[in-house]
């Protein structure tokens, strides 16, 4: 079992729709969770962090965390073509170690 | 533009060359990281420096040698690399947390794209 699992996609959504990206993790004691966006040929860009169960909203982005189910998700409302990228889920392990999922490719079609 | 600056942006080197990658941040972060990323794969952690001391080495071959001269700078010295070492090398930084589980997010530089001939 991989430490952090994501569906590789591609996930295709029409412009203006809600994109839902999911991630599961195996280490039950993990405390910190992050979503990064990576455009082709660029470096990862932090878009959301979440540490407590529940929802955290920032603009069009909402991160959801359920520690009991070991599940993290990212919702993107009013999806735009510029949101087309790979979205990396990352889980902080012991001693500053960040473990990434394989990433989900999102394609927003205009 | 990111607040973590990496140079050079591109590097082509032969297998017998010696070169260095450089990373600089001025955010007051005391944890710095090197990652390697192959095409269509997620970043893989190589090294972690916390308070200028090496805290994690993910069993990286000795042809990669990290150095942290001060709290703002991180270098990666390269020697006798192999073609399979061609990749995007990413530097990141974060606030350091002396606890077992840090919740500080990491911020990435633009990376150095390395090609080994």
Q: Do β-strands A11-14 and A104-109 pair in parallel, antiparallel, or remain unpaired?
A: parallel
Q: Can you count the helices (H) and strands (E) in chain A?
A: 0, 11
What distance in Å separates the CA atoms of residue B76 and residue B74, rounded to the nearest whole number?
A: 7
Q: If DSSP codes are grouped into helix, strand and coil, which group holds residue A96?
A: helix
Handedness of CA A47, B41, B72, B20 (dihedral sign): negative
Q: Is B41 on the interface with A (CB under 8 A)?
A: yes
Q: Is B80 on the interface with A (CB under 8 A)?
A: no
Count how many residues are written for chain B: 117
pLDDT at B93 over 80: yes
For residue B42, list chain A residues with Cβ-Cβ distance below 8 A.
Answer: 88, 100-103
Q: Do β-strands B112-116 and B10-13 pair in parallel, antiparallel, or remain unpaired?
A: parallel
Give the CB-side neighbour count of residue B82, counting CA atoms within 13 A: 4
A75 pLDDT band (50/70/90 cuts)? very high
pLDDT at A94: 74
pLDDT at B103: 77
**B-contacting residues in A 80-109 (Cβ below 8 Å):** 88, 92-103
Q: How far is CA A80 from CA A19, A57, B7, in A?
A: 10, 18, 32
* pLDDT tens track for B34-91: 999 999 999 999 999 999 999 999 999 999 999 999 999 999 999 999 999 999 999 9
CB pairs under 8 A between A and B: 70
- The rounded radius of gyration (Å) of the Cα atoms in chain B is 14
* pLDDT tens track for A14-47: 999 999 999 999 988 888 999 999 999 999 999 9
Q: Which of B92, B105, B93, B36 is nearest to A34 (CA)?
A: B105
What distance in Å separates the CA atoms of residue A70 and residue A74, rounded to the nearest whole number?
A: 14
Q: Do B102 and A102 touch (CB under 8 A)?
A: no
B99 pLDDT band (50/70/90 cuts)? low
Q: Is A44 on the interface with B (CB under 8 A)?
A: yes
Q: Do A43 and B41 touch (CB under 8 A)?
A: no
């Amino acid at each position: 079992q991989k430490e952090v699992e994501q569906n590789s996609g591609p996930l295709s959504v029409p412009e203006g729709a809600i994109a839902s990206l999911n991630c599961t993790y195996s280490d039950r004691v993990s405390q910190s969770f992050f979503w990064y966006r990576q455009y082709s040929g660029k470096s990862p860009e932090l878009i959301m962090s979440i540490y407590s169960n529940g929802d955290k909203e920032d603009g069009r982005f909402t991160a959801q965390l359920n520690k009991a189910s070991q599940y993290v998700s990212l919702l993107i409302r009013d999806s735009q073509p510029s949101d087309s990228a790979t979205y990396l889920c990352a889980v902080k392990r012991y001693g500053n170690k960040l473990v990434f999922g394989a990433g989900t490719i999102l394609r927003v079609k205009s | 533009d990111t607040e973590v600056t990496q140079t050079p942006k591109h590097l082509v080197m032969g297998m017998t060359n010696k070169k260095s990658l450089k990373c600089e941040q001025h955010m007051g972060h005391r944890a710095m990281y090197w990652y390697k990323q192959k095409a269509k794969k997620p970043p893989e952690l190589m090294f972690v420096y916390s308070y200028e001391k090496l805290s994690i080495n993910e069993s990286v071959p000795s042809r990669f040698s990290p150095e942290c001269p001060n709290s703002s700078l991180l270098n990666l010295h390269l020697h006798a690399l192999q073609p399979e070492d061609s990749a995007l090398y990413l530097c990141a930084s974060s606030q350091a947390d002396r606890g077992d589980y840090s919740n500080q997010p990491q911020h990435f530089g633009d990376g150095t794209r390395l090609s080994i001939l």
